[in-house]
Structure 1
Amino acid sequence: MFDRRIDALGTWALVRLGRDPFGLQVFVARAVLALGTFLTLVCNPAAILLHSGDPSATQAVSCVDVGSAGAFCIAGGGDLDTVRLVLAIFCLPTILGIVPAVSGWLHAYAAFSLSSNAIGIEGGDQLTVTLAILLSVASLTDRRLTAFTENRRPGTHVRFVLSNMLLWVCTIQVAYVYVEAALVKLGHPIWAEGTALWYWAQNSGFGVSKDGESLLLDLLAAPVISAAATWGTMILELVIAAFLVFGWRRRRLRLAALVLGLGFHLVIAAVMGLVTFFIAMTGALVISCWRPRDGYPLRLFRRLRRTALSTPGRKPTYEGTRVA
């Protein structure tokens, strides 16, 4: 009886989690996350990334605990701008989709070094590290040389079960980020009373322009608008988390979570100037909306190729194999 249950569980896991997950959606998520790390490293010199807030100190590398394994700590007193550019180069193979099983680890180390050694003010870098490591482990079963190569032998394989489980963990991690963000806000007095965004609009640590700040303050001066925007932010975060968790069999919920999340973070990027945070959350939302059956085929690429190769009145020269 026990053996039958084990066999049934194994069959269920193979059917549900044994499909090759490495399609367009996973590639886009990895590439977007790597792009955020790349832009942060390329656009900010070491003097900006590695600062302590003390005007008398030009650079301050954080080498606490596990952070000492970061590239900036290993370099010691070397040229930290050179280290920064090398780490940026580490991100390129992931952005280009080259050898996913290996390139993901290069990006994960670059993201880890940036998050652990630099002094940041937003959580996009930390989330990128977590997701990059999970994706790197999951991608160990990805045997392709490029992310644009299709699997010519679709089916279920035991080696994909762990990969699919880790990709599920990514979804739970992102949903938890939204839930925690909402609950932490709710526990703070200015968020609970509905005035938090009025204070945030005046925070000089973010990129709100003077004109934008003036307009926001005028709008948020109205108690109804301030309360609606403040409480609406927390409600929206909880809704996105719920859609991610309960969208396992409902593609519309996953699409709604993606659209709401992208719109939400786009507004934050436009108002507060947190562009790289928007990029990181875009990659996080894309991977958290993933499901095993979304992996193959790469319908978009295949449809474009059929369209390009076909002529009026002539059958397309390339016929793709449909996988449900």
Structure 2
Amino acid sequence: MRPVRRWWAALTGAADRFEPRGRPLAVGRSLLALASGCLLAFSPDGALFPRTEGVTDGPVCTGIGRISLWCLAESAGVDLQVCRMIALAVFATVALGYRPRWTCVPHWYVTYSLSVAVALPDAGEQVIRILTLLLIPICLGDDRRWHWQRPGRPLSAAWRGRAYAAYLFVRILGVSIYAQASLSKLAVPAWRDGTAGYYWLVHPHYGSTMAIQPPVGAILQQPIGVSVVTWGALATELALAVLLLCPGRARRAGWALAIGMHGAIALLMGFTTFAMTMVGLWAIACATTARRERPVDFTSRTASPVARTDV
């Protein structure tokens, strides 16, 4: 139990030195905005909203979803294309990194609106909705003009604690996603016997023609190749869940592994926005923390206010 206690003490003690405003956070925010923006920009209304007998019905406006941008616009008689333009403008502003403090709440709202009002079955939008909500406590204390800039002064103690709590929840969210994705598959016989990878890759809806072409097609023609693909996916998902709990260097290795896995899935199965979402989650999970015991000199041009730690 002593290693566990040391790990917990290091994890909670890092809140006093937490400094998330580095490049990983900027990359994560931009990727989340680009994922939602691409989905909205390249999807016509007929794909976004429910259809009955070939006629687009409009946004889903039930329950709390009535406060979404699309539903408010529809009730006010505003053209839905106006909502599209507003949302794309917000996503573009966030992706560019302008004023994190003032764009974090609009980013969450348009992401929430998109996720509850549209009918596209994209799990990435549900994840982004949670991530953008968790980013609010991290970004509200950020007074930089661009999120790519180095911070000019440290976060206040109150905002540092709030940001660190949100950052831990981001990691917990990632652990739950990967652990559930891996362990739940074990209840399916096709995943246990090592054949599910083949059926998913050649699925008429989720699969891709690339999966039957060399070199992937040659691998899928061999039983051992199919088993490696299937069980390898399970092992990778479980490894990513564990790496999110690990210290900084291991998490950065997990980020690279996540880029490889989600990039391959996007290439072979077309889940591009989900891949961008999960890589963005990893970027936020790799937000840097200051490991120096002495205060960081935020006025120095040579000092690095985002030095990493192993927590």
TM-score bracket for this pair, using the shorter chain length: 0.7 to 0.9
Show CA shifts across 1:5-51 (max 9, x none).
xxxxxxx9676335432222212111111111111111112111113
Q: Partners in 2 of 1:61 and 1:34 — Cα distance?
A: 21
Aligned partners of 1:213 and 1:93: how far apart in 2? 40
User: What count of residue pairs does the alignment treat as equivalent?
Assistant: 287
Q: Which residue identity does 2:23 align to in structure 1? A: L
Equivalent-residue separation in structure 1 for 2:255 and 2:236 (angstroms): 12
Q: 1:99 maps to what in 2?
A: 99
Task: Find the counterpart in structure 1 of residue 236 from structure 2.
Answer: 236
C-alpha change, 1:205 and 1:162, in structure 2 (3 Å) is same
Match of 2:178 in 1: 178
Counterparts in 2 of 1:185 and 1:17: CA distance versus 1, 3 Å: farther
Query: In 2, are the aligned partners of 1:46 and 1:59 still within 8 Å (CA)?
Result: no
Instruction: Assess if the C-alpha contact under 8 Å between 1:191 and 1:231 holds in 2.
Output: yes
Which residue is 1:88 aligned to? 88
Q: Partner residue of 1:306? A: none
1:129-167 deviations in Å (ceiling 9; x for gaps)? 100110023211112232244333347733311111111
| Counterpart Cα distance in 1 of 2:155 and 2:129 | 31
Tell me, in whole angstroms, the C-alpha distance in 1 between the residues paired with 2:203 and 2:79: 33
Partner of 2:159: 159
State whether residues 201 and 207 of structure 2, in contact with CA within 8 Å, keep that contact through their aligned partners in structure 1.
no
Q: Where do 1:2-17 residues align within 5 Å? A: 16-17=15-16
Determine the structure 2 residue equivalent to 1:47: 46
Q: What CA distance in whole angstroms lies between the structure 1 residues aligned with 2:155 and 2:35?
A: 33
CA distance in 2, matches of 1:322, 1:280: 28
**What aligned pairs does 1:274-313 form with structure 2 within 5 A after superposition?**
274-293=271-290
Alpha-carbon distance in structure 2 between the residues aligned to 1:202 and 1:259:
26
| Residue in structure 2 matched with residue 225 of structure 1 by the alignment | 225
Equivalent AA in structure 1 for residue 233 of structure 2: T
**How many angstroms apart in 1 are the aligned matches of 2:13 and 2:194?**
48
Q: Given that residues 111 and 129 in structure 2 are in contact (C-alpha distance below 8 angstroms), is that contact kept between their aligned partners in structure 1? A: yes
Task: Please state if 1:263 is matched with 2:245.
Answer: no
For residue 58 of structure 1, the aligned residue among 56, 66, 70 is 56
Normalising by structure 1, what TM-score? 0.80
Q: Is the 8 A contact 1:207 1:274 kept in 2?
A: no
Q: Which residue of 2 aligns with 1:125?
A: 125
RMSD, aligned α-carbons: 2.6
Match in the other structure for 2:197: 197
How far apart, CA to CA, are the structure 2 residues paired with 1:158 and 1:214?
Answer: 55
Deviates more, 1:64-73 or 1:92-101: 64-73
Letter in 2 for 1:321: A
Provide, for residues 167-220 of structure 1, a one-character-per-residue CA deviation record: whole Å limited to 9, x for no partner: 1111111121111111121122222222212221232333613x5445556532
Structure of larger gyration radius: 1
Corresponding residue for 1:109? 109
Please list every run of at least 4 consecutive aligned residues from structure 1 whose deviation after the TM superposition is greater than 4 angstroms: 12-15, 214-218
Q: Which moved more, 1:195-204 or 1:144-153?
A: 144-153
Structure 1 60/205 Cα, relative in aligned 2: closer, same or farther at 3 Å?
farther
Give 1:17's aligned amino acid. Answer: D
User: 1:195 and 1:14 mapped to 2: Cα distance?
Assistant: 45
Closer/same/farther in 2, CA of residues 149 and 214 from structure 1, 3 Å limit: closer
- Whole-angstrom distance in 1 between the partners of 2:42 and 2:171: 30
Aligned letter for 2:73? A
Q: Deviations over 1:276-295 (max 9, x none)?
A: 1221111111111224238x
Aligned partner of residue 293 in structure 1, secondary structure: coil
Q: TM-score, normalised by structure 2?
A: 0.83
Give the corresponding residue for 1:320. 302
Contact 1:201 1:217 in 2 (8 A): no
Secondary structure of the corresponding residue to residue 168 of structure 1: helix
The one-letter amino acid of 1:158's match is: A
Conservation of the 8 A alpha-carbon contact between 1:19 and 1:156 = no
**Identity level (%):** 27
Q: Which runs of 5+ in 2 are unaligned?
A: 1-10
